[in-house]
Amino acid sequence: MVRLNRVLLKDAGNAIDKTLSEILVCPLSKQPLRFCEKTKSLVSDTIGVSFPIKNGIPCLVPKDGKILEEEADASKA
Amino acid sequence: MRRINSLYGRIGLLRRAPEKSTKQSHTLLASLSFSTEGSYGGDGELQQNSSKVKIFDRDLKRIHRDRAAWLSRQKNDSFVDAVAENLLDRLEDCKKSFPTAFCLGGSLGAVKRLLRGRGGIEKLIMMDTSYDMIKSCRDAQEDSLDNSIETSYLVGDEEFLPIKESSVDLIISSLGLHWTNDLPGSMIQCKLALKPDGLFLAAILGGETLKELRIACTLAHMEREGGISPRLSPLAQVRDAGNLLTRAGFSLPGVDVDEYVVKYKSAMDLIEHLRAMGETNALLERNKAAIYDSMFATEDGTIPATFQVIYMTGWREHSSHPQAKRRGSATVSFTDLQKQFGGQS
């Protein structure tokens, strides 16, 4: 149970590793990603797609990406 | 589902749904019914690149790998371990150390487990298309208490690598790349992700793999339906591997082949093994199993299956690599060499 708490704490802190945040780019446009606090996801501004982060593991498969139509939709996404 | 269509529309990356005429659709994959979901509208648009033919259903592959993560949790697979061991051994042959390493799909767990500090790796990044596979790797790591290497996990597609250019020293892929639709494209992206003087190590299954199964399937199918359609996925030939490496732009390419014959108690065991590796195409009907057993059984009653593994190595170009000299720039002739080293005639 102690192990479980440690994992939760780590995820609550910064959602992704420092290593990953330096290396990751958008799989489709190869442009840098922005971490969005509100939706806890990685956003690629150039193409307007957000990729989810599950349990601290970013899911950058193009199929998992959600399109952010406008600012209004982004909060729902 | 609108999500995917317009997503690709934005990038202008369009793929045509597989042609009905090429019977490569692996009926048991049911790829036609799957691919309509992702049939990227606009049939009027041309393919960007002729190498982007959709042979494998990647979504189905993800599901297979989710199942494989589940099945292979308990025991270690000796075939997969042998391949990973062979691949990692090559790291010892290099004087260079690779602080940042990236592990692509295939048998991730085996690579991580067998690494044992070779190659001077400090940071390891693991990637797979299946979330369950990554999760089980991460859980295994926490259980083993071996935290000397800083490991990060992410879920991604080998055909769309989410890695910045020139950011990793080493890329390892053990039995992962033979399920990509666009292998040259993946390899090019791998090359770009490597720092100069970075190493690319991959093991893929070759054309001779499971030839017994291929024959049994063909025969069974001929008996039942009077015609044949391919059931085993197209696999790279050794001669193509070299071309792939040079086409991707790697310098000092190297290819070698190894054949492993694995013996099973019955044909169904083989299928179970394939499922646990995430390598299945289809369900095996009992007819094929019977033919397989009768044609290929050895004296002690076990069924052999051949796995041909092609190992590819390539480096990202760097000024320290030896380059071939320009034609006509030779300063020494072969006759001189012969005199120097004493010809045997």
When CB atoms are compared, the residue of A17, A60, A66 closest to B3 is A66
| Structure tokens given for A26 | 């958008």
Please tell me which residue, B258 or B47, carries the higher pLDDT value: B258
A5 at B interface, C-beta within 8 A: no
Question: What does the pLDDT average to over B18-23?
Answer: 37
Chain B residues near residue A34 by CB distance under 8 angstroms: none
Give me the amino acid identity at B56: F
A 10 A CB-CB count for A25 gives 20
Q: In the prediction, which pLDDT does B228 show?
A: 64
| Closest Cα in chain A, distance from residue B296 (Å) | 41
* Stretch B128-133: mean pLDDT: 85
- The region of weakest confidence among B55-59, B215-219, B320-324 is B55-59
Q: Which of A17, A20, A61 sits opposite B157 (nearest CB)?
A: A61
Whether B147 has its CB under 8 Å from any CB of chain A: the answer is no
**Residue B171 pLDDT:** 92
Mean model confidence pLDDT for chain B: 73
Q: pLDDT per residue over B180-192, tens digit each?
A: 878 888 899 999 9
Distance from CA of A36 to the nearest CA of B (A): 17
Window from A68-77, B31-40, B108-117 with minimum mean pLDDT: B31-40
DSSP letter string, B235-298: -B-HHHHHHHHHHHT-EEEEEEEEEEEEEESSHHHHHHHHHHHT---SPPPHHHHHHHHHHH--
% of chain B with per-residue pLDDT over 90: 4
CB nearest to A61's CB, from B123, B156, B168: B156
Beta carbon pairs, A and B, within 8 Å? 91
- Mean pLDDT of the region B290-301: 68
DSSP string of B201-232? Answer: EEEEEBTTTTHHHHHHHHHHHHHHHSS----S
What is the length of chain B? Answer: 345
**CA gyration radius, chain B:** 22
Query: Between residues B23 and A64, which one has the greater pLDDT?
Result: A64
Query: Is it the case that residue A67 has pLDDT exceeding 60?
Result: yes
CB-closest option in A48, A49, A57 to B154: A57
Contact B152 A62 (CB under 8 A): no
Looking at residue B311, what is its pLDDT?
92
Query: Does residue B45 carry a pLDDT above 80?
Result: no
Residue B8: per-residue pLDDT = 40
Strand extents, DSSP E, A6-71: 34-36, 41-44, 49-54, 57-60, 66-67
Query: Which residues in chain B are contacts of A4 at CB distance < 8 A?
Result: none
Residue B39 is given by DSSP the state: -
B150 pLDDT exceeds 60?
yes
Q: Which stretches does DSSP call E strand in A1-77?
A: 34-36, 41-44, 49-54, 57-60, 66-67
Lowest mean pLDDT among B68-77, B180-189, B217-226, B247-256: B68-77
